[in-house]
Amino acid sequence: MPELSVVVPAYRERENIPLLLDALEQALVGLDWEAIVVADSADDGTEEVVREHAQRDRRVRIIQRIGRRGLASACIEGMLSSSAPYLAVMDADLQHDETLLPKLLDEAKRGGADVVVASRYMEGGSTGELAAERVRVSRLASALSSVLCKGLTDPMSGFFVVRRTFLERVVRKLYGRGFKILLDMIAAARGQVKLAELPYRMRSRERGESKLGVRVIAEFFMLILYHLTGRLLPARFFLFGLVGVTGVVVQLGVLSLAFGASAQFLYSQIVATWVAMTSNFFLNNIFTYGDQRLRGARMWRGLISFYMACGIGAFINIALAEWLFIKTVPYWAAGLTGALVASLWNFFTTASFTWGGSGARKR
Ligand code: GDD
Ligand code: MN
């Protein structure tokens, strides 16, 4: 049984994988290790390259995910597929210095830490040639994350070793989306975690490109909200709610344009509602369900079921608010309750009927 599993999330990293696996082999000489590459299918040949290498080296294996995306979920599934007592997570793009791995492992074993983080921001560490802009954003995110996690210089790091018993303790409480799996695990531990850090110099990416985008930034805020609110609602609900707020803005915008042009209220309101529902669907498909986005024919089918679910939601909203209002509840409280209940309805019905299957079951 290997002592250390190195979990490597990979999306479109065909050129980096062979270099990384060779580098691991050199860096981990004398250790009992394995590498688990979690590759989300992109038809760029990443999986083939891993499998080819795995045919020559039994310490290497692959988890191939089809129709799925997400760095954090890839790391979680990779870690869960291992039985080693220590788990490392590192990127596939050679930005993380693999020669630090034995030291991270040693610190966990000897120092007894649950999590040993490779830090760019402690003495001796560096962000290398990372663009100044990226460093600023990373620093800002680190500062924000201090509401969830204290005592780390680099809570945004994607390079660390954890003890398997620690993973088991927190794995059911994770947000599990976006890029920040380390912060997620530490927030889930609620202070019950022994931390250590070691410095490293981050390299720059030579091949392939970064996958950090707007969705990842949105996920970061959702991660913070999720843990701050005590994990009350399913993780996706926060993004769904945020999209709902943009829907209100779209609705009012279109209403004022259409009403201004036609001076017909009912007609303008119908058009505004339809536009807002449509934009909500596409935003949810990209952001809330970006990891299992509907495409092609499934997307149009999804749009129809979304219209139906939200249509019923609107009916519930109006009926409930009217009933409360008649029962002498103040108008704003009646309206707010109607809207809240309808958004819960919309969320749970579209989670199973529109984005169905795995989406509904996955928390
Ligand atoms: N399986 C899978 N699925 N892997 C993914 C996905 C995905 O959807 N998105 C990204 N990855 C993989 C990439 O292939 C790469 O190996 C690793 O995750 C990091 O992605 P990058 O796009 O290179 O991220 P970055 O360099 O901007 O940021 C990384 O390093 C920072 C410093 O440690 C991330 O790990 C950050 O969280 C971290 O702060
Ligand atoms: Mn990278």
15 lies in some domain: yes
Listed residues 207, 222, 254: the one ending a domain: 207
Alpha helices (runs of H) in 180-295, residue ranges in sequence order: 181-189, 214-228, 235-262, 265-283
List the residue whose alpha carbon is closest to atom 29 of ligand 1: 158
Query: What angle (nearest 5°) sits at the alpha carbon of residue 147, between those of residues 144 and 151?
Result: 95
Same domain, 149 and 240: no
191 lies in some domain: yes
Same domain, 185 and 293: no
pLDDT tens digit sequence for 138-179? 999 999 999 999 889 999 999 999 999 999 999 999 999 889
Same domain, 177 and 267: no
Residue 40, phi then psi, degrees to nearest 5: -90, 120
262 lies in some domain: yes
pLDDT tens digit sequence for 194-218? 999 999 999 999 999 998 888 888 8
Taking residues 84-98, report their average pLDDT.
98
Residue 304 CA to ligand 2 center (angstroms) comes to 38
Q: What is the CATH number of the domain that holds 62?
A: 3.90.550.10
The CA distance from 9 to 265, in Å, is 52
Read off the pLDDT band of 296 (50, 70, 90). Answer: very high
Read off the pLDDT band of 286 (50, 70, 90). Answer: very high
List the residue whose alpha carbon is closest to atom 24 of ligand 1: 210
pTM of the full structure = 0.82
pLDDT tens digit sequence for 13-28? 999 999 999 999 999 9
Query: What angle (nearest 5°) sits at the alpha carbon of residue 348, between those of residues 342 and 350?
Result: 95
Give the domain range for residue 119. 4-207
Same domain, 46 and 105: yes
The CA distance from 71 to 14, in Å, is 16
Residue 157 CA to ligand 1 center (angstroms) comes to 10
Ligand nearest to the CA of 96: 1
213 lies in some domain: no
- Lowest-confidence pick of 69-73, 95-99, 168-172, 333-337: 333-337
33 lies in some domain: yes
Same domain, 173 and 61: yes
pLDDT tens digit sequence for 223-259? 998 999 888 777 788 889 999 999 999 999 999 999 9
HEC assignment per residue over 100-162: HHHHHHHHHHHHCCCEEEEECCCCCCECCCCCHHHHHHHHHHHHHHHHCCCCCCCCCCCCEEE
**Total domains, the chain:** 2
Same domain, 203 and 299: no
The answer to whether residue 358 scores a pLDDT higher than 80 is no
Residue 276 CA to ligand 2 center (angstroms) comes to 36
Listed residues 187, 207, 227: the one ending a domain: 207
pLDDT of res. 47:
96
Taking residues 333-360, report their average pLDDT.
84
Residues with CB under 6 A from ligand 1: 9-11, 13, 38-40, 69-71, 74, 91-93, 95, 156-159, 179-180, 210-212
Listed residues 190, 207, 224: the one ending a domain: 207
pLDDT of res. 357:
54
214 lies in some domain: no
Read off the pLDDT band of 360 (50, 70, 90). Answer: very low
Same domain, 144 and 190: yes
The letter for the amino acid at 62 is I
Same domain, 48 and 183: yes
Residue 210 CA to ligand 2 center (angstroms) comes to 5
Same domain, 201 and 287: no
> Which ligand 1 atom minimizes the distance to the CA of 179?
37
Same domain, 314 and 169: no
pLDDT of res. 301:
95
The CA distance from 78 to 220, in Å, is 21
Assign 6 to helix, strand or coil.
strand
The letter for the amino acid at 280 is N
Same domain, 189 and 244: no
153 lies in some domain: yes
Neighbours of 9 (CB within 10 A): 28
275 lies in some domain: yes
Residue 353 CA to ligand 1 center (angstroms) comes to 31
pLDDT of res. 362:
40
Ligand nearest to the CA of 12: 1
Same domain, 195 and 102: yes
